[in-house]
Amino acid sequence: MTCHICGNGTESFRDEKSGILYYCCNGCEVIFKSPECYRSIDEQKARYDLHTNDENDEGYKAYFQRFLDFLLPHVGKVKTALDFGCGRSTLLANILNSMKIATDAYDPIYHPDTAYNSKKYDLIVSTEVFEHLHDPKTIFDSLVERLHPGGYLAIQTQFHPNDRESFKNWYYHKDPTHIVFFTPKTFKRLAAMHGCIYVADNDRNMVLLKKSGK
């Protein structure tokens, strides 16, 4: 199986408990499930509808604030943003709008308006999205294209432990809609492939990249 990110060959291993086959790239460290595990949009919606995210819940607000506390010190004064894959809630977009950052929200299930497609942004944020993507490189390509030169792409997704036995015991891949898993090295490879600057990560689940240019 060819790596979905860098195109190199991969090695496979199986989780004995679930029977799921995984592919691992030793070059960029991405791990992805065998394609028969990929879920349709309807199946993903059914899973997501089980979530009970309340925009008035202080814990939910704090969840997004931690993400903003990581990225905002690096990006300076941005004027426009896109929350890509926001889910049912537009809380993150609302927080950014309250900070005078004009923010659009897009989600293929809950907010599928494609009017934003012709716009470019200073900042694109994507929280807990990339682990669901059938073709993460293509989405990454499209998001970088949507940035102004010098714009930022901030992604939140849990970094896998990069050890097969630890991975098998890791909680994150047990969600049936989570199909692809990353480390900082994966995003460094994506940054290099697109001429982006790798700005920072938190060594756990957040990464920030900058598009080349002004």
Q: Does residue 10 fall inside a structural domain?
A: no
pLDDT tens digits, 141-165: 999 999 999 999 999 999 999 999 9
Is 80 exceeded by the pLDDT of residue 114? no
**17 within domain boundaries:** no
Within a domain: 11 = no
Q: What is the CATH number of the domain that holds 194?
A: 3.40.50.150
Q: Which residues, other chains included, contact 148 with Cβ-Cβ below 8 Å and sequence gap of 6+?
A: 120, 121, 122, 211, 213, 214
User: What's the total number of domains in the chain?
Assistant: 1
Q: How far apart are CA 174 and CA 118, in angstroms?
A: 36
**Structure tokens belonging to residue 86:** 């926001």
Closest CA to 211 of 197, 199, 201, 192: 197
User: Whose CA is closest to 178, among 138, 136, 124, 125?
Assistant: 136
**Residue 137 near residue 188, CB atoms below 8 Å:** no
Q: How does pLDDT run across 190-212, given as a tens digit for each residue?
A: 999 999 999 999 999 999 999 99
Residue 30 lies in a domain: no
Range of the domain at 135: 46-210
User: What's the rounded mean pLDDT across residues 109-132?
Assistant: 89
Q: Is residue 116 part of a domain?
A: yes
pTM for this model (two decimals): 0.93
Q: Which residue has the higher pLDDT, 116 or 36?
A: 36
